[in-house]
Amino acid sequence: MNISSREAIVEKLASTEFDVLVIGGGVTGVGAALDAATRGLKVALIEANDFACGTSSRSSKLIHGGLRYLEQYDFKLVREALKERELMVSRTAPHLVSPVSFLFPLHEGVKERGYVGAGLALYDALRGKERVLPLHKHISSRKMREVAPDLRRDILKGGILYYDAQVDDARHTMTIARTAERFGATVANQVEAVELIRDGGRVIGAKVCDRESGKEFHIKSATTVLAAGIWNSKIQEGAGINHGYDIAMSKGVHIVLPKSAISLKTGVILKTALSVLFVIPWKEFWIVGTTDTQWTGSKEQPLANREDIDYIIEQANQVLLHPLKHSDVISVYAGIRPLVAPMEASSTTKISREHVVDHPLEGLISVAGGKYTTYRIMARDAIDAAASDLLKIVPKSCTEEIVLLGADGYQASLNNVGGLAAAHNVPREVILHLLSRYGSIFEEVLESAKIDASLLERIDPNLPYLRAEIRYAVTHEKALHVSDVLMRRTRIAIEVRDRGLSAAPGVAQMMASLLGWGSAKIEQEITEYEALVEREFLAEASIGGLV
């Protein structure tokens, strides 16, 4: 994208009357835009910051049914999530969502094995007939030493191996947004909803501000869907509208470790006094988390503190032969879970224990809560509610059949990695890396390297991301700031110890040539990124984390 093409998108937002305006560029918002667009509706989506800049880039990066919900007897939620998991792995996003195994270690032998085994048998059964991932299996203490040599043998009596799936959440969210565009949605980041526009008792759009130019304008829409998570209540309260649910902010923290820090051939799930702790394989790293604590600080940048990191390390070390140290930690990231509860005497439709859809006025719907895994269901429910306010027949949701950009032809490309590597004169690992991020459209990324071979160089020598991906992030994925590239279009910010500080100048220089930045703007971008990272470092060294 260049300046003129973005201006064209902003002009279209200002001059078109839409059927649905979606506010919020997290996974639920982009999912709602895709759902509406594939029903033949005229759709706009705006995001005040960047796509997936909040919770949708700071999750555990798992697509899972949620074992802990079985203990709460929420079988409907687990069944729903497992169906979505199988759908993503097998059909809609196989290039982005892949199986991952987990070991559930046992401490008490026969009694615990029977209890946990029964739970995992139910977990397998609830996913229905279309089963892509393997069934769970019991393993002995001897076998466990082979698959998990770093787990303590003195306190563990074997385990049970089962499967879920994982995803690069920010990349997945971005791909949904691009797929929505493919079906006709008008999508823009850095466009903030300032206030809702009302005509009597009906919401007819929003006053917005393009944060890049400072220009304010109105977006007219027959219906508006709030999918801004923890920001929903602020938007509604600003318009004097009572919302039908309360949102509590819960902070979830994860630490990132090198693969060498823990000797395991599988992920691990551990029960803790408060919840569960995951040790998750992530490329050449481990992600370990999470916490669940109340957050009352900044919504824009939730921060981890020393207590959070200590808790995660302490819980993991209870079962590890070789204890983790603070010096092992490469990075830390924190996200906010928007936990919702319906208010009494509200118009809220409680779709499940995990998400709510509220319809307080004609033309206004808000959706909040939920699990990343069930984003498609949340989006469908929100657009179903919006459709009831449109004066025309609206088809049912069809996103169960819609594959995300890059999924079509992915398996064929994967089967021909050697041939593709030879055709593009790059190593096999480059093709595999690009296929896992872009699927069958990976050649779009390499197109610019045909003219400039330096774009095949790595951004960081220890990570697989190519300089061509910076260019692609700007030209095809609406990246407007250095933080967009380092934190979300790539995951450099959580995969190196300096959080991408050394890469920032080079990223800024390349973006400058595409976005028309002068030297002052380049310096500003670098300084702003350094400030983001510095705030994280200061918080992680503190007790309490509010600095």
Name the CA radius of gyration of the chain, rounded.
Answer: 23
Residue 65 lies in a domain: no
Residue 67 lies in a domain: no
User: Could you tell me the end-to-end alpha-carbon distance of the chain, in angstroms, rounded to an integer?
Assistant: 36
Helical (H) or strand (E) element with 275: none
Structural domain harbouring 427: 410-540
Going by the DSSP 8-state scheme, the letter that residue 348 receives in this structure is: -
How many other C-beta atoms lie within 10 A of the C-beta of residue 14?
A: 15
Residue 304 lies in a domain: yes
- Spatial separation of the C-alpha atoms in residues 15 and 35, rounded to whole Å: 23
Residue 545 lies in a domain: no
Task: Verify that 440 and 379 share a domain, yes or no.
Answer: no
Task: Verify that 420 and 277 share a domain, yes or no.
Answer: no
- Spatial separation of the C-alpha atoms in residues 512 and 523, rounded to whole Å: 11
Q: Which residues of 42-61 are buried (b: 16+ CB within 10 A; e: fewer)?
A: bbbbbbbbbbbbbbbbbbbb
Task: Verify that 237 and 254 share a domain, yes or no.
Answer: no
Asked which of 370, 401, 432 is the last residue of a domain, the reply is: 401
Task: Verify that 434 and 526 share a domain, yes or no.
Answer: yes
Helical (H) or strand (E) element with 175: helix 169-182
Residue 428 lies in a domain: yes
In the three-class reduction of DSSP (H, G, I as helix; E, B as strand; rest coil), residue 146 is classed as helix
Task: Verify that 516 and 447 share a domain, yes or no.
Answer: yes
Indicate the Cα dihedral angle 483, 485, 489, 493, nearest 10°: -60
Task: Verify that 257 and 365 share a domain, yes or no.
Answer: no
Asked which of 291, 320, 337 is the last residue of a domain, the reply is: 337
Task: Verify that 327 and 211 share a domain, yes or no.
Answer: no
Task: Verify that 491 and 354 share a domain, yes or no.
Answer: no
CA atoms within 13 A on the CB side of 537: 13
Residue-by-residue DSSP string for 199-224: ETTEEEEEEEEETTT--EEEEEEEEE
Is the separation of the CB atoms in 164 and 102 below 8 Å?
yes
In the three-class reduction of DSSP (H, G, I as helix; E, B as strand; rest coil), residue 435 is classed as helix
Task: Verify that 302 and 448 share a domain, yes or no.
Answer: no
> Cα dist. 63→111, 374, 414 in Å?
29, 9, 22
Tokens in use for 280? Answer: 């998750």
Task: Verify that 426 and 514 share a domain, yes or no.
Answer: yes
Is the separation of the CB atoms in 58 and 334 below 8 Å?
yes
Single-letter code of the amino acid located at 236? Q
Residues contacting residue 300 through CB under 8 Å, at least 6 positions apart? 49
Q: Count the domains in the chain.
A: 3
Tell me the CATH number at 278.
Answer: 3.30.9.10
Residue 127 lies in a domain: yes
Is the separation of the CB atoms in 174 and 189 below 8 Å?
no
- Spatial separation of the C-alpha atoms in residues 40 and 38, rounded to whole Å: 5
Residue 62 lies in a domain: no
Single-letter code of the amino acid located at 401? E
Residue 61 lies in a domain: no
Task: Verify that 315 and 349 share a domain, yes or no.
Answer: no
- Spatial separation of the C-alpha atoms in residues 462 and 465, rounded to whole Å: 9
Residue-by-residue DSSP string for 507-524: HHHHHHHHHT--HHHHHH
Asked which of 300, 317, 337 is the last residue of a domain, the reply is: 337
Q: What is the pTM of this model?
A: 0.95
- Walk along the chain (547 residues) and give the pLDDT tens digit of each residue: 666 689 999 999 999 999 999 999 999 999 999 999 999 999 999 999 999 999 999 999 999 998 888 877 788 889 999 999 999 999 999 999 999 999 999 988 788 899 899 999 999 999 877 778 999 999 998 899 899 999 998 888 899 999 999 999 999 999 999 999 999 999 999 999 999 999 988 999 999 999 999 999 999 999 999 999 888 888 888 777 877 777 788 899 999 999 999 999 999 999 887 778 999 999 999 999 989 888 888 888 899 999 999 999 999 999 999 999 999 999 999 999 888 866 654 443 433 447 889 999 999 999 998 899 999 999 999 999 999 999 899 999 999 999 999 999 999 999 999 999 999 999 999 999 999 999 999 999 999 999 999 999 999 999 999 999 999 999 999 999 999 999 999 999 999 999 999 999 999 999 999 999 999 999 999 999 999 999 999 999 987 544 4
Task: Verify that 365 and 234 share a domain, yes or no.
Answer: yes
Helical (H) or strand (E) element with 11: helix 3-15
Tell me the CATH number at 487.
Answer: 1.10.8.870
